Chains A and B, each alone.
Chain A
Amino acid sequence: MSAAAIVSRFSLLDAGIAAASLAVTLWIGVRVKRYIGTIEDYLVASRGMGLYVGAASLLSTEVGIITYMYQAQFGFVAGFSAFVVGLITLAVCLVVGRTGFVITRLREMKILTVPEYFEKRYGRGVRVLAGVLMAFGGSLNLGIFPIIEARFLAIVTGIPARYLGWTMAGLLLVALAYTAIGGMVSLIVTNYVQYVFLAAGTVVVTLVCLREVGWGEMVRAVDGHMGGHGFNPVKDLGVGFIVWQVLLWIALMTVWQSVAMRTFSTKDPAVGKKMFTLTGFLFLGRALIPMVWGIAALAFFWGRAEPATTAGATPNAEVAQLAARLDETYHADLDSGRLGRALPQVDLLERLAGQDQSRSPEAARLEASARDRRGEIGLLAMPWMLAATLPTGLLGLVVAGMLAASVSTYAGYFLSWASIIAQDVVGPALSSRGAPARRGAEGSADGDGRSFGTGPRGVPQDDRRSLLLTRVTVVALTVFIMIWSLAYHLPGPAYFYLQVTANLFMAPTLIAVVGGLYWRRSSATGAVLCFVLGALASLAYLVPALKLDVATAGNLSWALAVAGFVLGSLLVPPAAQREEAAT
């Protein structure tokens, strides 16, 4: 028996539905230009965002095709244990929404970017350092989105590979057009429309999964395929992973620029808090729903699996034979949707290589290679299942939902990282010596109750220059993303790349913000050490000799960032306290 190749039923009707959804989004997005007069309109929609559009905007930005793909991949490889990440997200959102931890203080200060807070609290040097790390890590993080998403679109729509680059360039240009013109106002309005498409597509795919596979079959697939694993997250993923995820999600929900910009755009701090409570349940769905798609894909292909066999004389010969066969067929199977043939072979190779008593380097290499391939199958299994099961018409609706998710994420991230590059890196360098990069925050106070300077608001010359600089940065960032996504070859699993680039600044940013808001003694020296040590610990993951896994590198980043912050602040206290001590 030979597994048949999967051919998508994507038709002209589906293409029409998807194209119409993009056209509507673009049309709405560029119509709001007339509302943009100041940099505050452009970056935070003049702080007029309501609760429901805020929740839609936040979720649309944080859900792209790539999000659904890696969540489905996590469900595919870890089974139901992966759900713990969704529960952590819900818990973090509810606590942040209930207490206003960090977000209320930042919202009250009327800042535009997170690094802007660092200038108020620690000085310009820390603002620029944080801005450089965030811009660098954030841009590289965004840079692989098109690479991964192109694979989804190629599978589900059947677009030939030679047109994929143009398709992704077209999507980036749609996002660029309305983001550069209308900024956050465009984003809020288009995010609302995109959310409707996204939610409809999400529900359709979930219903298809439940109809095609069913919950009982998913449970049996995880039980049978993972050999007793896939249900208990503590046993499967470890306490270290869970602790790291809790810390990471606290940082993501409070100081990740695209999320923080939504907080800064709300009408008032109370709306910001409510938005997090409401969004917590949407974030639970953002994790669990695609994870179920991944588990459904596992059950779907496991149910169609061809048993893998070997006929070598010795275990070593069996492993060698299987590895050679996989080298011949694996990529062709992956590219044609024959996952029912590739998956059992990869599983068998991983098991046999793992059982090798000699633990030779070759056996270890083959076992690791089989594990990576299982991860790659997990990434593509969900789109292949959709291509195999969705009928014409529904396929168009789902693709429209996924394109909406994708374009809204590009747009949201373009604005987020461009705002940091323009406001916190390039702006301070261009502005006159000693003058603040942006005058705008008024009547705000830090954690010690000290008042920040109250500068004049909305100086037209400054606003025009700031607006132009940010718009030019959005365009430049888009060009960079296009080039990066065409030229860069991903060396390993996307999930690890995304975590390393985000880890570069996540831990130090949260620690320096929390320290600045809630600890009087925190100083600029502590903040600088915090950023340097936290970033170095994340980069240690890339040094093969250290053999750090991604969770350990993540936790190390947090530990070193805290140590650097506390030590630096105690050894070199803030200037005010030094003067106090001297008198």
Chain B
Amino acid sequence: MSWGLVWLVAFAVALASFVLISLAIAVRGVGEIRELFAALEEERRRKPS
């Protein structure tokens, strides 16, 4: 296999995984942020400063 082909495959994997993981982050991230806020709110109620 030539170097040219190796780099083409590497770039295709990089771009495809970047797009797919970015979509997953965009979709799943909102729920995780809500969970984080809920956890911080809960802790704030438990430990008033």
Contact = CB atoms under 8 A, between A and B. Distances in A.
Nearest to B27: A52
A281 B18 contact: yes
B41 A53 contact: no
Most central of B24, B26, B29, B35 by chain A CB within 10 Å: B29
Contacts of A48: 35-36, 39-40
Contact of B18 (A34, A52, A202, A232): A202
Interface string A35-73: 101100100011011111101100000000000000000
B41 A35 contact: yes
A288 B10 contact: yes
A241 interface: no
Contacts of A49: 32, 36
B39 to A, nearest CB: 4
Nearest to B3: A231
Nearest to B19: A203
B39 A46 contact: yes
A269 to B, nearest CB: 17
Contact of A289 (B7, B14, B35): B14
Interface of B is mostly: helix
Contacts of B26: 196, 199
A51 B21 CA distance: 12
A231 B4 contact: yes
Contacts of A52: 24-25, 28-29, 32
Nearest to A193: B29
Nearest to B40: A35
A45 B15 CA distance: 31
A517 interface: no
Interface in B1-49: 3-4, 7-8, 10-11, 13-15, 17-19, 21-22, 24-26, 28-30, 32-33, 35-37, 39-41, 43-44, 47, 49
A578 B28 CA distance: 53
A50 B35 contact: yes
Chain A, interface size category, equals 35 or more
A83 B11 contact: yes
Contact of B13 (A80, A231, A284): A284
A46 B15 contact: no
Contacts of A196: 22, 25-26
Given A189-B33, A195-B25, A285 B14 contact: yes
A10 interface: no
A385 interface: no
Nearest to B13: A284
Residue of A35, A38, A86, A185 with most chain B CB atoms under a 10 A cut-off: A35
Given A52-B25, A53-B29, A87 B10 contact: yes
A278 B18 CA distance: 10
B8 A215 contact: yes
Given A38-B49, A188-B33, A231-B4, A281 B44 contact: no
A45 B3 CA distance: 45
Contact of A292 (B11, B13, B40, B41): B11
Contacts of A460: 49
Given A48-B36, A52-B28, A288-B10, A219 B49 contact: no
B44 to A, nearest CB: 6
Interface in A414-452: none
A83 B10 contact: yes
Interface of A: 32, 34-35, 37-38, 41, 45-46, 48-53, 55-56, 80, 83, 86-87, 185, 188-189, 192, 195-196, 199, 202-203, 206, 215, 219, 231-232, 278, 281-282, 284-285, 287-289, 292, 458, 460, 463-464
Given A282-B18, A288-B10, 12 more contacts: A37-B49, A46-B43, A50-B36, A52-B28, A53-B29, A80-B7, A192-B30, A195-B29, A196-B26, A282-B21, A289-B11, A464-B49
15 contacts: A37-B43, A41-B40, A46-B40, A52-B28, A185-B36, A195-B25, A199-B22, A203-B22, A231-B7, A281-B18, A282-B21, A284-B10, A284-B18, A285-B14, A460-B49
